[in-house]
Chain A
Amino acid sequence: MTRSPQSRKAFTLLEMMLSVAVFVLLVTSAFSLVGATTELMSEVSEVQTQSAQRLRFVEACRAAFESLSANSSVEFNYFDRGGRFDTYLSLVNAPEAFDFGLNLRDEITRVVLAAEIQPGGFIRSGVYYMTDLDYEAAEKSDFQNIEAPFVVLIPRMRQLTWQFYDPQARKWQQTLDGGITTSLAEMTMQVDGSAPPLRTVFWHIDGSQ
């Protein structure tokens, strides 16, 4: 018994081409969706990490300022490094400031928050734990050869600047020159260009007043 050619069941070439086209469309869509999803999640994760880093830095600074006592004081040094400035904010007699286990030694009298210009133009922020002798030696070399334990907080920043509120003049000053005594310090920081600079203010007890 033979079947006539008309009754044989099979896909035509057109049907096959159509199904292959649909399959290709589905696979392409799936791949592009997965790609876009991965990229989006990666960007979200990056933004989250950077924000957390900024806020952790601010919290560490706030905790350091809040740890100051009536015996403590704040000093500010800055040095011109070819048009840009390295800044060093010293918290004097503040044993609990930036306490990562390095400033437990009694002879550490200064915890110095440094913002140093790096060769690539970025700023490296970190903390030096200095004895009086370390500080004297650092001052003599304009803070270029500091022999003291150092902890990097953020290795690459675009901006880390300080201002200090002068209650007499009722305005913010860029330095503590001229014997300004203040208990308000303003910090503006920017880790990279993707987020705007973050301004924050710290209040502290100033033992020098």
Chain B
Amino acid sequence: MAMALFAIAAVSLAEALNVISLTVTETIEESELREQLRAVMLEVSRDPNVTAETRETEANEQGLAFRIDIERLELDNEKGDSLANLFSVKVTAIRIQSGGRRETLDSASTIVNPAIF
């Protein structure tokens, strides 16, 4: 009985610690992923030569790649005037597993007017 109780307590403690470690690791990975996503978003959206295109960066050592979708936007303001030179930029972080399986991790989007930068 004592052995059983001890075993249950020990396994529960180890499991709890394992979950804590995994949570910490995931939080760190998420914050670093967001940092990389922000970097790609800045790189693309602040490029004065931005053009409509869809491309994907090469996967890094961790299998992390970014898909970049840039579309020209045709919007009018309240007066009906056309708002020229606007682009919609979307960056998606993708994890490419060794078997080729692709997992979408996170994405960010914005609207840019390259003439500003």
* Cβ-defined contact, B36 with A55, below 8 A: no
B98 within 8 A of A: no
Q: Which residues of A are found within 8 Å of B35, using beta-carbon distances?
A: 55, 58, 198, 200
Question: Which positions 20-75 of chain B face chain A at CB distance < 8 Å?
Answer: 20-21, 24-25, 28, 31-32, 35-36, 38-40, 42-43, 46-49, 60-62
A202 touches B42 (CB 8 A): yes
Q: 1/0 per position for A119-137, CB-CB distance to B under 8 A?
A: 0000000000000000000
As a 0/1 sequence over residues 45 to 57 of chain A, the CB contacts with chain B under 8 angstroms (1 = contact) are 0011001001100
Contact yes or no, B17 A37, CB < 8 A = yes
Measured in the bound complex, the distance between the Cα atoms of B102 and A13 in whole Å is: 63
For the residues of B in contact with A, the DSSP-based class is: helix
Q: Which residues of chain A from 22 to 62 have a CB within 8 Å of any chain B CB?
A: 22, 26, 29-30, 33, 36-37, 40-41, 44, 47-48, 51, 54-55, 58
CA gap between A30 and B10 in the complex, in Å:
8
Count of residues in A whose CB is under 8 Å from the partner chain: 29
25 contacts between A and B (CB under 8 A): A22-B3, A30-B6, A36-B14, A37-B14, A40-B17, A40-B21, A44-B24, A44-B25, A47-B25, A47-B28, A48-B24, A48-B28, A51-B31, A55-B32, A167-B49, A170-B47, A184-B42, A196-B61, A196-B62, A198-B32, A198-B36, A199-B36, A200-B36, A201-B39, A201-B43
Residues of B at under 8 Å CB distance from A?
2-3, 6, 10, 13-14, 17, 20-21, 24-25, 28, 31-32, 35-36, 38-40, 42-43, 46-49, 60-62, 117
